[in-house]
Structure 1
Amino acid sequence: MQLGTRWTAREQPPKAVPEALHAQIAAVEAALNPDGLSAPAPRWTLTFLEGRPVAELDTGVVVSQDAAGEVVVRYDDDAEFA
C-alpha cells in the first residue's frame, strides 16, 4: 500500500512523488498565472491508482503515469475549484 501526500504548488515535491512526474508538475506550475491578489497557491494531492501515481492540482489539472509508464497531463472537468 502506498500513501499519498499534499504539497503547495511551486514548492519542492515531497519524496513520495515519483521523479517521473516532476518535469510535468514543474511545467504546469510554470503556467500558473498568479492573480496578484495574495490568493493562496493551489495545492497538489498525490494518490496512487492501481499502483500508479496521480498528482492532482486544486485547479483540476492532473499529472499521472499510465500503464505504459508515460506521463500524461489532463484537465479534470469535475474539479471542485474549476
Structure 2
Amino acid sequence: MQLGTRWPAGSEAPASVPAALRPAIAEVEARALRQAQGPRSWWTLTWLEGRPIAELDAGWEVFQDASGEVIARPFQD
C-alpha cells in the first residue's frame, strides 16, 4: 500500500485525488456531512494494488474496482 494524503471533508480535494473519484466524494460529503454531528471528518487517500481508495473517517469509502468502476459505500464489517 502506498500512502496518499489527508484532507478535511468539505474542502477541495488535493490534486493527487484522481478525477474519477471526485464526483463520488462530493456525493458522499453531501450525504454524510449533512447528518454529521461532532468533530470535522477527514478523508484519507491511499493506494492498494495501484487503485485509489478514499476513506472518510465518518464511515465511508470511495474506490475504483478492478474494472475501473467507482464505488461509494459505507464501511462494511
TM-score by length of 1: 0.82
The one-letter code of the counterpart of 2:16 is A
Q: Is it true that 1:58 corresponds to 2:57 in the alignment?
A: yes
Deviant stretches of 4+, over 4 Å:
none
In structure 1, the partner of 2:43 is: 44
Q: 1:2, CA displacement in angstroms?
A: 4.9
CA distance in 2, matches of 1:40, 1:8: 11
> 1:1-82 counterparts in 2 under 5 A?
2-31=2-31, 32=33, 33-35=35-37, 39-78=38-77
Identical-residue share of aligned pairs (%): 57
Matched residue type, 1:15: A
Aligned partners of 2:69, 2:58: CA distance in 1, in Å? 22
Separation (CA, whole Å) in 2 of partners of 1:19 and 1:77: 24
Aligned AA for 2:4? G
TM-score (norm 2): 0.87
Which one has the largest radius of gyration?
1
**Structure 2, unaligned stretches of length 5 or more?**
none
Whose relative contact order is higher, 1 or 2, with alpha carbons under 8 Å and at least 6 apart? 2
CA RMSD of aligned residues (A): 1.6
Q: Distance in 2 between matches of 1:74 and 1:40?
A: 21
